[in-house]
Amino acid sequence: MPPLVTRFAPSPTGYLHLGHAFSALDGWTRARAVGGRFLLRIEDIDQTRCRPEFEAALLEDLSWLGLDWDGEVRRQSDHFADYQAALDKLQTLGVIYPCFCSRKDIAAATSAPQGPDGPVYPGTCRHLDPALIAEKQAAGLPFVLRLDVAKARVLSGNLAFTDEHAGRISAQPEVLGDVVLARRDTPCSYHLCVTLDDALQGVTLVTRAEDLLPSTHVHRLLQALLALPVPAYAHHRLLADAAGQRLAKRAGAPSLRSMRDSGTSAAEVRTMIGYADPIFRA
């Protein structure tokens, strides 16, 4: 068995809350329990939403929580060239296409089925005439690059992966539709960067919340296309508050630092989410 390598990969778009602490502790305890490695990666490709002060805050909050990490922190914004090379490879395979639809167009398309993350792209630009694409691009119309999932699937073999809780899963990358892999203000998407980085950093077990399970189906397809190793996965349940509401930044979950400021200790935070001292495991 190769040594266990886990990671925590937050985006510095806000302060960490209990859900993040749970994910981080999950990866950290698994690695530390067996002498493996725990990596920290800053997922800051969306430069319109990420802020350096949130990055500084998350490093501080993780340390306060009692976590440490191995090696250098990888910051995605330092690696745009790696992601571009992967995009180029996908372009060569002929599995990406420019899409000129706005979010509004997609939401308004009556044919857009609802997926786990909102409306699934109905494929309007999937087979645009190359001359029309050239014309739109020459006119400077904004576009994103999408993955042609059906075409990509034809090029890929068996798309299985293992989740610790759900078992062996046959990936259904269609679930999120033709996902966006790059846009003008964010030259590569979460899906591409996370898949590439987990491979480049030698992550053997991806631990993250179960709301990202649909994304894993897409990541498995990208692994096949880019000939990347397939890690094991452990998608954990989402934490809920006392009222049963899922903890999420958008829902205004209290941040770790606001809890700290109001007198909650790191040990109390850990205990609250099932990671009691001394080894942070309940």
Instruction: Considering the complex, state which of residue 9 and residue 145 has its C-beta at the smaller distance from ligand GLU.
Output: 9
Residue 10 is a binding residue for ligand GLU (CB under 6 A): yes
Residue 29 is a binding residue for ligand GLU (CB under 6 A): no
Residue 43 is a binding residue for ligand GLU (CB under 6 A): yes
Task: Return the range that interacts with ligand GLU (CB under 6 A); candidates 3-11, 92-100, 158-166, 243-251.
Answer: 3-11
Q: Cβ of residue 185: shortest distance to ligand GLU, in angstroms?
A: 17
Count of residues in contact with ligand GLU, rule CB under 6 A: 7
Read off φ and ψ for residue 251, nearest 5 degrees.
-85, 10
Q: Cβ of residue 125: shortest distance to ligand GLU, in angstroms?
A: 27
- DSSP at 76: G
Residue 193 is a binding residue for ligand GLU (CB under 6 A): no
Q: Cβ of residue 27: shortest distance to ligand GLU, in angstroms?
A: 9
Residue 234 is a binding residue for ligand GLU (CB under 6 A): no
Distances (CA, A) of 279 to 29, 34, 231, 235, 272: 8, 12, 25, 21, 15
Q: How far apart are CA 51 and CA 183, in angstroms?
A: 19
Q: How far apart are CA 246 and CA 269, in angstroms?
A: 17
Residue 212 is a binding residue for ligand GLU (CB under 6 A): yes
Q: How many CA atoms lie within 13 A of 60 on its CB side?
A: 11
| From 6, 11, 195, 204, residue interacting with ligand GLU (rule: CB under 6 A) | 11
How do beta strands 205-209 and 180-182 pair?
unpaired
Question: In 10 A of CB 14, how many CB atoms?
Answer: 18
Task: Return the range that interacts with ligand GLU (CB under 6 A); candidates 7-15, 104-112, 158-166, 178-186.
Answer: 7-15
| From 96, 188, 194, 269, residue interacting with ligand GLU (rule: CB under 6 A) | 194
Instruction: Considering the complex, state which of residue 11 and residue 255 has its C-beta at the smaller distance from ligand GLU.
Output: 11
Q: Tokens representing 280? A: 């942070």
CB-based contact 29:35 (threshold 8 Å): no
DSSP readout, 162-201?
A: EETTTEEEE--GGGG-S-EEE-SSSSS-HHHHHHHHHHHT
Q: Where on the chain is the footprint of ligand GLU (CB under 6 A)?
A: 9-11, 43, 194, 208, 212
